[in-house]
Amino acid sequence: MSSELAHTVTMNSPKTMFLADVASQELRGLTSPLESLLTSGGDPRLGLDPVQLLNGYGCQPWPRPEAFTFASSTATSISERGFAAAAEAQQRLIDSAREGSLGDAYDRDAECLREQIRAFLTLGASGTQIVFSPSGTDSQIHALCVAQMALEGEGPLVSVIVGSDETGSGTAPAMTGCHFSSRTAQGAAVVEGQRIAGFPGDTVRIQIPLRDQFGRLRSSDTVDQDVLAAVGQSVAAGKAVVLHVMDRSKFGSRCPTLGCVRRVTSTWPRSVQVVVDACQMRLGRRRLRHYLDQEFMVLITGSKFFTGPPLSGALLVPAGASAVMSRASSVPAGLELYTNRNDWPIHWQGIRSKLPVRPNTGQLLRWVAAVEEMGAYFAVPESYRILALQEFARMVPRMIAERPNLQLLLEFEKAEADELGDEEMATPTIFPFFVCDHGKPQSLEVCARIYRALNRDVSNLLPGRATARQRKVAARLCHVGQPVSMPDPANRDAGTLRISAGARVVSETWRAAGEAASCRKLAQEFEQVRTILDKIDLLVQNLDALADIDESTKRTSRREADPVRLSSRSATLAGMERGPNIFEKLRYEALRQE
């Protein structure tokens, strides 16, 4: 479905027609424009900058096919297929509300998503249960909560976070039961860093980084030894351990080795609960099944490799822990600030009864879109999934290496091969690089400026002497992974940008006519990457001209602290406008107020 058509469905469907007849608050919320619902019930960074119409992740809550997007290490704007699926799900909810069965509808849809995720990830027979959340970081809080119950009686908890320097910024607080932001996805104001009510005050963490102070990857042996020492000392001190294993990190690494994890679980079987951070979803399905068979919990998202809209998280709970949870009857009191009854599996009645009935429509619709992407990806024959990702891994680093201004990180990922294999994920899919000016890697701030300019039309910022071709490149919207700081080879703090392959590189280039036709389509993706690199070169040559970008960024961050209430504003506008223009109107209003 084209984005225009998708919008027509959203804005002109029966919901707007019967709106006036229905008093129900619930229904009125559901009939908000889909674009608005998709930004609700999540991280504060989902709020849109009314000038750029982009959220804190540089994404738009409606399809953005005009942008060249290789940002799946961070987040991606919703696709046309995802948007259409979410629009259908929204309409189903509205129909249920009209029939008076909305409460059941949320459970029905969540259960249907669980079935689909289990099917796509080949977990059907595993007894795995799924707890939904608004983000990978929220799911880390859920994981801690489940681990706490699984390890009950084994002593105070220690979270051992491996690859702590390459996970989400909220992981450390979340894995110790602390608020990771000043506002929860449910909109509750909280104190960042403070313990969430009901989580034990004596939970501590040990962070084991993947890199040394020079940004070099530490050897697998060293990381493994650190893990064994941290777990061993904790258990010897009478503590129970939640071992947060990385598979894979922001830059694509896996740590510690499988051998190390096995040694931990065989040496201290009762005192350790493993939680695998697979939020990037860059692991083979056989490996995923193996983790769950070993009773490891697994954190996933639909919004990174799978390119569902930002944000969506889930915790996969293995059969044994699920059995414990189905008998549990209490949860930490503060959990209600984060999660709702529908997020938790139907059979976990005791837990569900302690949580509020407060369905999170935005989260559900984002997951619907993500599952649509999963389906499209796994519908592609495995041989082409492998071929496309291998081709990406062959071409993209080569294109980066050809640019004098770009320096691919020498060692960007560590993932020891083992007997589990990685299927198509055996090949790297995230390519981080420094951006240099006269050979010097640029700071995180400069990278952030380039990152923002990439994602906008900055043709008007170029000097008068710029050529028509340069203006065309500068106008192109290019979305890459958020900048990450990293010491450069001279041990100065520098920034990196990342170009990543997500599921859509496969699903949108696959052609039923076969691999030859698909590869021709894939070549167009590389042309897009080439344009992104051209634009980076151009921006490096014109860094001074980007000062205005910072001006508009100040405006953006001011608004992020006080997020734009799209739902109410766009609902007001919905009666006046049809289609995506309501957002243009919003942008116009914001500019007028400047």
Ligand X SMILES: Cc1ncc(COP(=O)(O)O)c(C=O)c1O
d(CA 169, CA 187): 20
d(CA 132, CA 169): 20
CB of 299 to ligand X, least distance (A): 7
Tokens 């424009």 label which residue? Answer: 33
Residues 449-508 that bind ligand X (CB under 6 A): none
Rounded to a whole number of angstroms, the CA Rg of the chain reads 23
Where do the DSSP E strands lie in 488-594? 493-500
d(CA 507, CA 266): 40
CB of 317 to ligand X, least distance (A): 17
Q: Which is nearer to ligand X, 258 or 299 (CB)?
A: 299
Q: Which is nearer to ligand X, 91 or 133 (CB)?
A: 133
Q: Which is nearer to ligand X, 251 or 433 (CB)?
A: 251
Asked if 247 is part of the footprint of ligand X (rule: CB under 6 A), the reply reads no
Nearest to 427 by CA among 405, 438, 412: 412
CB of 277 to ligand X, least distance (A): 5
d(CA 439, CA 488): 11
Q: Which is nearer to ligand X, 15 or 244 (CB)?
A: 244
Task: State the binding string over 81-120 for ligand X (x if CB under 6 A, else -).
Answer: ----------------------------------------
- Chain center to CA of 468: 37
Write the DSSP assignment of 545-572 as a string of letters: GGHHHHHHHHHHHHHHHS---HHHHHHH
Beta carbons of 251 and 273 less than 8 angstroms apart? no
- Residues in a beta bridge with 178: 195
Q: Which is nearer to ligand X, 275 or 351 (CB)?
A: 275
Nearest to 383 by CA among 522, 510, 525: 510
Residues 306-365 that bind ligand X (CB under 6 A): 311, 313
Q: Which is nearer to ligand X, 167 or 427 (CB)?
A: 167
CB of 311 to ligand X, least distance (A): 5
Strand 297-301 relative to strand 272-277: parallel, antiparallel, unpaired?
A: parallel
Interface with ligand X: number of residues (CB under 6 A): 13
463 CB neighbour count, 10 Å cutoff: 10
Q: Which stretch binds ligand X (CB under 6 A): 14-22, 235-243, 274-282, 289-297?
A: 274-282
In degrees and rounded to multiples of 5, residue 498 shows phi and psi of -130, 135
d(CA 129, CA 1): 33
Q: Which is nearer to ligand X, 374 or 462 (CB)?
A: 374
CB of 137 to ligand X, least distance (A): 4
Q: Which is nearer to ligand X, 55 or 135 (CB)?
A: 135
Q: Which is nearer to ligand X, 268 or 433 (CB)?
A: 433
Q: Which is nearer to ligand X, 33 or 302 (CB)?
A: 302
Residue 212 CB contacts under 8 Å (≥ 6 apart), including other chains: 218
3-class DSSP assignment, residue 159:
strand
Asked if 168 is part of the footprint of ligand X (rule: CB under 6 A), the reply reads yes
CB of 257 to ligand X, least distance (A): 17
Crossing angle of helices 220-236 and 258-267, in 10° steps, is: 20
Distances (CA, A) of 158 to 244, 563, 594: 10, 35, 49
CB of 76 to ligand X, least distance (A): 12
Asked if 277 is part of the footprint of ligand X (rule: CB under 6 A), the reply reads yes
Task: State the binding string over 115-154 for ligand X (x if CB under 6 A, else -).
Answer: --------------------xxx-----------------
Distances (CA, A) of 583 to 74, 322, 549: 24, 43, 21
d(CA 246, CA 415): 10
d(CA 204, CA 160): 9
551 CB neighbour count, 10 Å cutoff: 9
Task: State the binding string over 286-305 for ligand X (x if CB under 6 A, else -).
Answer: ---------------x----
Q: Which stretch binds ligand X (CB under 6 A): 110-118, 199-207, 275-283, 353-361?
A: 275-283
Q: Which stretch binds ligand X (CB under 6 A): 224-232, 253-261, 272-280, 343-351?
A: 272-280
Task: State the binding string over 202-241 for ligand X (x if CB under 6 A, else -).
Answer: ----------------------------------------
- Residues in a beta bridge with 498: 432, 481
CB of 174 to ligand X, least distance (A): 9
Nearest to 545 by CA among 434, 492, 476, 471: 471
Q: Which is nearer to ligand X, 280 or 405 (CB)?
A: 280
Q: Which is nearer to ligand X, 84 or 208 (CB)?
A: 208
CB of 73 to ligand X, least distance (A): 7
Burial of 114 (0-12, 13-18, 19+ CB in 10 A): buried
Tokens 């947060």 label which residue? Answer: 244
Tokens 């969430």 label which residue? Answer: 196
CB of 426 to ligand X, least distance (A): 18
Task: State the binding string over 173-202 for ligand X (x if CB under 6 A, else -).
Answer: ------------------------------
CB of 280 to ligand X, least distance (A): 5
d(CA 402, CA 227): 39
In degrees and rounded to multiples of 5, residue 393 shows phi and psi of -70, -20
CB of 451 to ligand X, least distance (A): 15
CB of 275 to ligand X, least distance (A): 11
Q: Which is nearer to ligand X, 50 or 313 (CB)?
A: 313
Binding site for ligand X (CB under 6 A): 135-137, 167-168, 249-250, 277, 279-280, 301, 311, 313
